[in-house]
């Protein structure tokens, strides 16, 4: 059985863990190098991207995760996790870094502050309709050719359809939080790819 | 892959509670200006609480403590990328309306400010912005959730630098939740009466074994060890008020408490970050206080 890690430095770790448990996975909360080395795939949860980035450095995990990404370990990031995986961050801190594992530009809080957080149903390729829960969500503004778009959203703000769920080989990024719903199909899609 | 939907809904219980979920494992720091806000963000805070005076100074100065000047809240919003919270007085829904108009990310209906209504808290369901409220016991927590709070924090005794009241509140809430969780269904009516809490929410606690919203800790947290203590007691994140900017070395204290919050179960990490930190805030023995803020709210 595959061992799935959930980066457990900060954020909505327990929702991902609960969902993976429901799906019968062996789950490891990853806070140390040994724990990172023990997993076959990793989920980067929602949370504050600046906080998680800071804690990746102080806990000595940041370089090791870069190596894992280069070695093509499957990684899925939701919200803050998407920001960490992206290649360009707009409206972030001037010194904010990211792994560049997904060739996408994301705008932090691209839909607005918390008052603008919203729910909207999504149509995910290969899955169907799923609940989309967007919380101070990053907005994917540009994707390069090698990025596969699995779901889009027209937020009704005149900007038209834009991606909210992308995949580039072993790296997956979502603007929304499937882990906050009871629908396990997005996680199943990721697990079935392993 | 065609998902052309414009039927988005904002302000749902799910996005309000979900936002609190995103703060878990983190540290929310009180800040009074842009410089402090930047120090907090640099140190890894998950959010800042913008207010004109930290609780220790409110306690020292006396007088009526109110919502902060919108200008300082806006300045802090402009200076950081992390969420910005702000405090409204208990029952002062007009202050809350102003804070929502300012687009703050969370409102703390707080006993640290002077209450505006001695009977009623704010009807928080009427707002799109989520609210956090303090509680000293399970009944108080469930009354606040009944009014629409999406996040509960222990009250502790703000501005004292003394964690004893926060520990009391967390232990009380936990013990009462264990009692409810182990109760027979027929006992829940009487428990709801004793707790002075809505029956539906008591039933939810009985089923879940925990609150239906996240439980954070506030009030007197001043050291990395304090953060580790309350997180081991079941709090899911910590608010640090006076403890950072009233310490000798705020930058190091802020970083140390953030690391301790992440690695709260690993004493070797908490030991490392606690080493040579300089003095924590001086603090007060709660028995000697003239005014107990935790007694505000009903």
Task: Tell me the C-alpha distance between A58 and A32, whole Å.
Answer: 11
| Spatial separation of the C-alpha atoms in residues B116 and B84, rounded to whole Å | 23
Q: Which residues contact A45 (CB under 8 A, 6 or more apart)?
A: A6, A7, A8, A11, A12, A13, A15, A16, A78, A79, A80, A81, A179
Mean pLDDT score, A156-172: 94
**Active-site amino acid positions of B:** 87
ipTM comes to: 0.95
Would you state the pLDDT for residue B6? 52
* Cβ atoms within 10 Å of B298's Cβ, excluding its own: 14
- Can you tell me the distance from the alpha carbon of A12 to that of B287, in angstroms, rounded to the nearest whole number? 38
For residues B229 and B163, is the Cβ–Cβ distance under 8 A? yes
Taking an 8 Å cut-off on Cβ atoms, the answer to whether A50 and B25 are in contact is no
Chain A interface, best mutation among B12, B13, B25, by max A CB count within 10 A? B25
Dihedral (C-alpha) A167, A169, A171, A172: value to the nearest 10 degrees? 20
CA distance B182 to chain A (A): 22
Q: pLDDT of B142-166, one tens digit each? A: 999 999 999 999 999 988 999 999 9
The pLDDT assigned to B282 comes to 81
Beta-carbon separation of B1 and A125 below 8 A: yes
DSSP class per residue in A129-162: EEEEEESS--EEEEE-TTPEEEEEEE-SSSS-EE
Mutate to test the interface with A, among B7, B44, B213, B260 (most CBs of A within 10 A): B44
Residue A144, judged by CB atoms within 10 A of its CB (0-12, 13-18, 19+), counts as exposed
Q: Is the pLDDT of residue A130 over 90?
A: yes
Question: Is the overall model pTM greater than 0.90, yes or no?
Answer: yes
Q: Is pLDDT of A127 > 90?
A: yes
Task: Give every CB contact of residue A168 below 8 A, 6+ residues apart in sequence.
Answer: A101, A102, A103, A146, A147, A148
Contacts of residue A145, Cβ cutoff 8 Å, sequence gap at least 6: none
In Å, how far is B128's CA from the nearest CA of chain A?
6
Burial code of A6-22, b = ≥16 C-beta within 10 A, e = fewer?
Answer: bbbbbbbbbbbbebbee
Are A161 and A149 within 8 A, CB to CB?
no
Residue of B82, B133, B130, B17 whose CA lies nearest to A12 = B17
The DSSP-derived string for B25-93 is T-EEEEESSHHHHHHHHHHT-SEEEE-SS-HHHHHHH-S---PPPHHHHHHHHHH-SS-EEEEEETT-H
Percent of chain B residues past pLDDT 90, beyond the cut:
84
- pLDDT, tens digit, for every residue of A4-45? 999 999 999 999 999 999 999 999 999 999 999 999 999 999
Where are the domains positioned within chain A?
3-192
Interface check for A12 against chain B (CB to CB < 8 A): the answer is yes
Q: Residue B275 carries which DSSP code?
A: T
Q: Which helix (H) or strand (E) holds B17?
A: helix B13-22
Q: Are strands A118-124 and B9-10 parallel, antiparallel or unpaired?
A: antiparallel
Separation of alpha carbons B127 and B133, rounded Å: 14
Q: Which residue of A has its CA nearest to B40?
A: A51
**Percent of all residues in chain A with a pLDDT value above 70, rounded to a whole number:** 100
Residues of A in contact with B99 (CB under 8 A): none
Task: Note the helical H segments in B128-223.
Answer: 138-146, 164-181, 188-195, 199-208
Q: Does residue B179 or residue A157 have the better pLDDT? A: B179
* Contact partners, residue B276, CB within 8 Å, separation at least 6: none
Q: How many CA atoms lie within 13 A of A184 on its CB side?
A: 13
Report DSSP state, residue A127. T
Distance, in Å, from the CA atom of B176 to the CA atom of B140, rounded to the nearest integer, reads 11
- Cβ–Cβ below 8 Å for A153 and B47: no
Please give, rounded to a whole number of angstroms, the shortest distance from the CA of A3 to a CA of chain B: 22
Tell me the helices (H) and strands (E) count for chain A, helix number first: 6, 12
CA B119 to chain centre: 21
A160 touches chain B (CB under 8 A): no
Chain B residues with CB under 8 Å of A80 CB are 22
Nearest 5°: phi and psi at B296? -80, 140
Mean pLDDT of chain B: 94
Asked if B125 and B99 touch (Cβ cutoff 8 Å), the reply is no
* Class at the top of the CATH hierarchy for domain A3-192: alpha beta
Q: Which of the residues A48, A120, A126 would you substitute to probe the B interface, choosing the one with the greatest number of B C-beta atoms within 10 Å?
A: A48
Between CA B291 and CA B194 the distance in angstroms is 27
Helix axes B199-208, B138-146, angle to 10 degrees: 120
Q: Strand, helix or coil at B292?
A: coil
Residue carrying the six token digits 């108009």: B101
Contact call for A14 and B128, based on CB within 8 A? no
Q: Kind of pairing, strands B47-50 and B27-31? A: parallel
CA distance to A16, A68, A132, per residue, from A165 (Å):
17, 22, 10
B262 with A15: Cβ contact below 8 A: no
**Beta carbons of B43 and A54 less than 8 Å apart:** yes
Would you state the pLDDT for residue A29?
98
pLDDT at A69: 98
**How many Å apart are CA A54 and CA B34, to the nearest integer?**
20
Is A180's pLDDT higher than 70? Answer: yes
Mean pLDDT of A108-114: 96
Residues 6+ apart with CB under 8 A from A34: none
Cβ neighbours of A58 in B, within 8 Å: 44, 255, 259
Contact (CB<8Å) A123/B3:
yes
pLDDT, tens digit, 9 for 90 and up, residues B204-244 = 999 999 999 999 999 999 999 999 999 999 999 999 988 99
Rounded mean pLDDT for each run of 10 residues along chain B, 298 residues in total: 64 96 98 97 97 87 92 97 98 98 98 96 98 98 98 93 95 98 97 98 97 96 97 97 92 97 97 92 78 85
State whether residue B288 sits within 8 Å of chain A by CB: no
- Whether B44 sits inside 8 A of A115 (CB atoms) is no
Distance between CA atoms of residues A56 and A118, nearest Å = 29
């Amino acid at each position: 059985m595959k061992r799935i890690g959930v980066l457990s430095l900060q954020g909505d770790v327990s929702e991902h863990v609960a969902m993976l448990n429901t799906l019968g996975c062996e789950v490891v909360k990853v806070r140390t190098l040994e724990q990172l080395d023990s997993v076959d795939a990793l989920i980067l949860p929602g949370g504050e991207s600046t906080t998680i980035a800071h804690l990746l450095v102080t806990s000595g995990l940041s370089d090791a995760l870069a190596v894992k990404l280069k070695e093509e370990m499957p990684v899925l990031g939701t919200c803050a996790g998407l920001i960490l995986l992206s290649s360009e961050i707009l409206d972030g801190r001037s010194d904010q870094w990211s792994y560049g594992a997904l060739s996408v530009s994301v705008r932090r809080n691209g839909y607005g502050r918390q008052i603008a957080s919203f729910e909207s149903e999504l149509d995910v390729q290969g899955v169907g309709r799923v609940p989309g829960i967007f919380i101070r969500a990053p907005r994917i503004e540009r994707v390069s050719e090698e990025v596969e778009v699995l779901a889009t959203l027209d937020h009704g703000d005149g900007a038209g359809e834009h991606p909210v769920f992308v995949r580039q080989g072993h790296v997956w990024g979502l603007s929304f939080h499937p882990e906050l719903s009871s629908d396990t199909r997005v996680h199943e899609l990721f697990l079935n790819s392993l | 892959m065609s998902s052309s939907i414009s039927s988005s809904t904002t302000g749902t219980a799910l996005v309000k509670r979900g936002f609190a979920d995103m703060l878990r494992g983190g540290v929310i720091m009180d800040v009074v200006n842009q410089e402090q806000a930047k120090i907090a963000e640099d140190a890894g805070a998950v959010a800042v609480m913008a207010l004109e005076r930290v609780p220790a100074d409110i306690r020292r100065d006396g007088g009526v403590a109110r919502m902060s000047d919108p200008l300082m809240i806006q300045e802090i919003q402009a200076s950081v990328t992390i969420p910005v919270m702000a405090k409204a007085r208990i029952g002062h829904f007009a202050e809350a309306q102003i804070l929502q108009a300012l687009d703050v990310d969370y409102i703390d209906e707080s006993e640290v400010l002077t209450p505006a209504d001695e009977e009623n808290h704010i009807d928080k369901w009427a707002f799109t912005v989520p609210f956090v409220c303090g509680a000293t016991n399970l009944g108080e927590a469930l009354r606040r959730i009944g009014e629409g709070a999406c996040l509960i924090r222990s009250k502790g005794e703000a501005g004292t630098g003394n964690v004893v009241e926060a520990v009391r509140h967390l232990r009380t809430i936990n013990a009462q939740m264990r009692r409810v969780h182990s109760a027979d269904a027929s006992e829940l009516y009487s428990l709801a009466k004793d707790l002075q809490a809505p029956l539906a929410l008591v039933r939810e606690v009985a089923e879940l074994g925990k609150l239906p919203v996240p439980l954070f800790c506030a009030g007197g947290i001043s050291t990395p060890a304090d953060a580790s203590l309350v997180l081991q007691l079941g709090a899911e994140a910590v608010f640090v008020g006076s403890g950072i900017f009233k310490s000798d070395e705020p930058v190091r204290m802020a970083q140390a408490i953030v690391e301790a919050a992440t690695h709260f179960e690993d004493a070797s990490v908490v030991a490392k970050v606690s080493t040579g930190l300089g003095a924590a805030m001086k603090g007060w023995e709660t028995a000697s206080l003239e005014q107990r803020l935790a007694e505000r709210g009903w």
